[in-house]
Amino acid sequence: MDKLQMVGGTSLQGEVEIAGAKNAALPILCACLLADQPVVLRNVPDLQDVRTMLKLLQEIGVTVDFPNPGDRSHLVLSAAVIKSSEATYEMVKTMRASILVLGPLLARMHSAKVSLPGGCAIGARPVDQHIKGLKAMGASIKIKSGYIQAETKPQSDRLKGVSILTDMITVTGTENLLMAATLASGITILENAAREPEVGDLAELLVKMGAKISGIGSDRLVIEGVEKLHGADHSVIADRIEAGTFLCAVAAIGGEITVKDCRPDTLDAVIVKLREAGLKMEIGPDWIKATMQDRPKPVNFRTSEYPAFPTDMQAQLMTVNAIASGNSTITETIFENRFMHVQELNRLGADIAIEGNTAIAQGVEKLAGAIVMATDLRASASLVIAGLAAQGETQVDRIYHLDRGYDRMEQKLTLLGANIKRVK
């Protein structure tokens, strides 16, 4: 298993280009199942999770072409022929986002068999809302030997438009139901819809494919089903979490960097908190110049659904708090077990205690390098930041977690002057 070795203490200088958003690319790849014409995608990030999703789609029958050899950000997907409506356990167990083929397959093929995603390190992450919504749209769904078996009854029927209110705000739940509704007969209303920018980016693609959607960006999506969708050409929105991760890196490590090709308008809550921590930021339309000369100030924050502070940035901002000039409280309201980075940060000399879904960080002057272990995607990013802020050598093991959601992070950090390398 790969590991990252680093020596802390050098500040970051230079520019970093942000890739397309993983959490927009994954549903957007699945949306191509809704049409029998090619969908051209640009700014797709080259990540493990994207490669896994492409493999799953190819097993289903989607052809994947890269028009410019060597450029994996530009691809053409064609779902002209669907040869299987099944997402096997082998595929789904490595990536929970595989559940996103359920809605499109059911809408296009009127049947789908998708393995129930297993649990995950950060929480149980059930998909009951996805199932509840599809049942409300007329699908008959059985859970049998670990698989979701869904079909319209009779199979000649389309899904039916209906008003759905999910029990909680769910990002992929909203995305699954939104995709299913585009080909349903009649009007579907999704109340309590997720407002994450990645949901909006998916909706923009669907509209380009001929879907009729209103309320994009709001918590109430109204979809008028159509018979067919056609091909489209779409560039994936910039990854706000990757951008936020690099902003937290310079806030903790110090220096001056410019984050380019990003969308500052999707980072309001993160910018507010990092300003409170003392990060100086100059903000342009698609770039942020961030400077940190002093020790961070502590910031209290709680995660919540967009537009509030994102749970996917919690571990990274906690690392900034770990070395801040005071105490701070961090409350995680989305997932029940998303504090696994705390013990690892404490191995690096942090002083963080957990009480229920709140972590209390007593800022320390300096962290000290150690061997630590990544446990999940965003935790691994927080440990890399901590290792580069610490004195001495740090090694982060199990960085396959990092590779799922960051495109060559250690290369981007090296270009910013960090002393970091990947060890096989």
Pairing of strands 327-331, 358-362: antiparallel
Quote the tokens at residue 224: 């008028």
Among 97, 106, 205, 384, binds ligand EPZ (CB under 6 A): 97
Q: Is 120 a catalytic residue?
A: yes
Among 172, 314, 380, 394, binds ligand EPZ (CB under 6 A): 172
Check if the beta carbon of residue 8 is closer than 8 Å to that of residue 391.
Answer: yes
Among 335, 348, 363, 403, binds ligand EPZ (CB under 6 A): 335
Minimal distance in Å, beta carbon 96 to ligand EPZ?
A: 6
Minimal distance in Å, beta carbon 262 to ligand EPZ?
A: 16
Question: Which CB sits closer to ligand EPZ, 87 or 281?
Answer: 87
Q: Give the closest residue to 356 by CA, choosing from 329, 376, 383, 316.
A: 329
Q: Using alpha carbons only, give the angle 261, 296, 239 rounded to the nearest 5 degrees.
A: 20
How far is it, in rounded angstroms, from Cα 281 to Cα 290? 4
Instruction: Please report, for residues 13, 246, 300, 334, 411, the alpha-carbon distance to residue 312 in angstroms, rounded to integers and kept in the order given.
Output: 25, 13, 16, 10, 22
Q: Give the closest residue to 280 by CA, choosing from 291, 288, 271.
A: 291
Size of the site for ligand EPZ (CB under 6 A): 24
- Interface region with ligand EPZ, contact rule CB under 6 A, candidates 164-172, 243-251, 252-260, 272-280: 164-172
How far is it, in rounded angstroms, from Cα 50 to Cα 93? 15
Question: Which CB sits closer to ligand EPZ, 292 or 330?
Answer: 330
Using CA atoms of 207, 212, 215, 220 in order, give the dihedral in degrees to the nearest 10.
Answer: -120
Lay out the site mask for ligand EPZ across 105-144 (x = CB under 6 A, - = otherwise): ------------------xxxxxxxx--------------
Question: Which CB sits closer to ligand EPZ, 25 or 292?
Answer: 25
Check if the beta carbon of residue 303 is closer than 8 Å to that of residue 269.
Answer: no
Check if the beta carbon of residue 225 is closer than 8 Å to that of residue 55.
Answer: no
HSE, CB side, 13 Å, CA atoms: give it for residue 232: 22
Minimal distance in Å, beta carbon 155 to ligand EPZ?
A: 25
Minimal distance in Å, beta carbon 319 to ligand EPZ?
A: 15
Question: Which CB sits closer to ligand EPZ, 37 or 331?
Answer: 331
Q: Interface with ligand EPZ includes 80 (CB under 6 A)?
A: no
Q: Interface with ligand EPZ includes 334 (CB under 6 A)?
A: yes
Catalytic residue among 30, 120, 248, 262: 120
Check if the beta carbon of residue 33 is closer than 8 Å to that of residue 105.
Answer: yes
Among 197, 363, 369, 405, binds ligand EPZ (CB under 6 A): 405
- Interface region with ligand EPZ, contact rule CB under 6 A, candidates 148-156, 165-173, 320-328, 413-421: 165-173
Q: Interface with ligand EPZ includes 378 (CB under 6 A)?
A: yes
How far is it, in rounded angstroms, from Cα 304 to Cα 388? 28
How is residue 97 annotated by DSSP? Answer: G
- Interface region with ligand EPZ, contact rule CB under 6 A, candidates 18-26, 34-42, 156-164, 203-211: 18-26
Minimal distance in Å, beta carbon 302 to ligand EPZ?
A: 14
From the number of C-beta atoms within 10 Å of its C-beta (0-12, 13-18, 19+), residue 81 rates as: exposed
Q: Interface with ligand EPZ includes 170 (CB under 6 A)?
A: yes
Among 168, 272, 308, 354, binds ligand EPZ (CB under 6 A): 168
Minimal distance in Å, beta carbon 133 to ligand EPZ?
A: 9
Question: Angle 377-389/340-347 helices, nearest 10 degrees?
Answer: 20
Among 23, 152, 266, 394, binds ligand EPZ (CB under 6 A): 23
Lay out the site mask for ligand EPZ across 290-319 (x = CB under 6 A, - = otherwise): ---------------------xx-------
Q: Give the closest residue to 419 by CA, choosing from 380, 391, 378.
A: 391
Instruction: Please report, for residues 77, 210, 319, the alpha-carbon distance to residue 379 in angstroms, rounded to integers and kept in the order given.
Output: 32, 39, 10
Minimal distance in Å, beta carbon 128 to ligand EPZ?
A: 5
Q: Give the closest residue to 363 by CA, choosing from 379, 352, 355.
A: 352
Question: Which CB sits closer to ligand EPZ, 97 or 205?
Answer: 97
Residues with catalytic roles: 120
The residues binding ligand EPZ (CB under 6 A) are: 22-23, 26, 97, 123-130, 168, 170-173, 311-312, 334-335, 377-378, 405
